[in-house]
Structure 1
Amino acid sequence: MNVLTSKDFLAGLVCVLLGGLVLVVSSDYNFGTPRRMGPGFFPITLGALLVLLGCAILLTAIRVGERLPALNLRPWLVIPVAVLAFALILPRFGFAPAGIAVVILAGMADRGAKVMTLALLAAVLVPAVWALFALVLGVPLPFVTWS
């Protein structure tokens, strides 16, 4: 098996690159001392730890290699459609239809999802979320509108 296509190698590489980016961006900040920490102390320390963690993951990838799973495009396509549907339905019809649509559409990202289970989830989740935002937090959010 090729080490470059293992899960651990790619995860370690991402950690090293992200930690390196944090180190480069925060290198202009004053580091300070442990007693008088400067603005760069926290990001530089975390960036260095991320690079070290990434290197450790890279070393384990050489020893143990688990292949990447096949890319499942269904969630990558369905979730943005659900968010877009929510954004388009909310101003025209209110929170209830938009919430029901987003729960059912987002649930369809899972191949094993059943429509009745998603409908039951929407029936419980949508009124609870609306009550939280509209009644408890005072956000002016109409439950149902017809415009």
Structure 2
Amino acid sequence: MFQFIRHPQDFWSGVMFMFFGLAAVVIGQDYPMGTAGRMGPAYFPVVLGGLLSLIGLATTLRSLWTRGEAIRNFSLRDSSLILLAVFLFGLLVRGAGIAVAVAVLILVSACASEKFNLKASLILSAAAILFCVLVFVKALGLPLPVFGPWLGL
């Protein structure tokens, strides 16, 4: 590993953030930008990609002067659980509702942690469900069912 990198986890996380952020900015260039008052299809991905790139740059630079853990072995099981959780969220959000989808997302992805705690995961799930329902369904008025048609509620 390069000797000037003191925190490899932060370094590679920052590089990944910059890559995806810049990719969003580049892809967004194909669409009309619009203005802050009248946003075009490129506005959100370009602004979000730019912010993500700045966060990545800050994380990468910080990794050069703060010490941290080395990167441990890659865990295929943990990565698969995270991807499965995201896939299940997308599959469940319309049919089972946002409450079930968020709970499944958090509980399945929490299983990927070495520090998994069912009680803490259930509390986090309840808080996240409440937050998502209040923000996305109530405040923003998105047409997402809290409990979907699959549950008959």
Query: TM-score interval w.r.t. the shorter chain?
Result: 0.5 to 0.7
Measured after TM superposition, the shift of residue 68 of structure 1 is: 3.8
Alignment partner, residue 125 of structure 2: 122
Instruction: Return the alpha-carbon distance in structure 2 between the equivalents of residues 146 and 120 of structure 1.
Output: 25
Q: Which runs of 4+ in 1 moved over 4 A?
A: 9-12
Deviations 1:70-123 (A, max 9, x none): 224144222111100101111221111111000111112211111121011111
Q: Which residue type is aligned with residue 85 of structure 2?
A: A
Instruction: Return the alpha-carbon distance in structure 2 between the equivalents of residues 87 and 140 of structure 1.
Output: 15
Instruction: Return the alpha-carbon distance in structure 2 between the equivalents of residues 7 and 76 of structure 1.
Output: 28
Instruction: Return the alpha-carbon distance in structure 1 between the equivalents of residues 117 and 69 of structure 2.
Output: 30
Q: With structure 1 as the length reference, what TM-score do the two structures score?
A: 0.54
- Asked if the contact 1:82/1:101 (under 8 Å) is kept, the reply is yes
**Partner residue of 2:72 out of 70, 73, 84:** 70
| 1:131 correspondence with 2:140 | no
Structure 1 or 2: larger helix share?
1
- Asked if the contact 1:6/1:68 (under 8 Å) is kept, the reply is no
| 1:88 correspondence with 2:88 | no
Measured after TM superposition, the shift of residue 6 of structure 1 is: 5.6
SS at match of 2:93: helix
Q: With structure 2 as the length reference, what TM-score do the two structures score?
A: 0.52
Report the count of equivalent residues: 101
| 1:8 correspondence with 2:5 | yes
Alignment RMSD: 3.4
**68 and 133 in structure 1: CA distance in 2 versus 1, 3 angstrom threshold:** same
Alignment partner, residue 82 of structure 2: 79
Any stretches of 5+ residues in structure 2 without a counterpart? 23-56
Q: Which residue type is aligned with residue 77 of structure 1?
A: S
**7 and 84 in structure 1: CA distance in 2 versus 1, 3 angstrom threshold:** farther
Instruction: Return the alpha-carbon distance in structure 2 between the equivalents of residues 102 and 145 of structure 1.
Output: 16
Alignment partner, residue 97 of structure 1: 100
SS at match of 1:8: coil
**89 and 6 in structure 1: CA distance in 2 versus 1, 3 angstrom threshold:** farther
**Partner residue of 1:145 out of 145, 148, 152:** 148
Any stretches of 5+ residues in structure 1 without a counterpart? 23-49, 61-65
- Asked if the contact 2:94/2:144 (under 8 Å) is kept, the reply is no
Measured after TM superposition, the shift of residue 5 of structure 1 is: 6.3
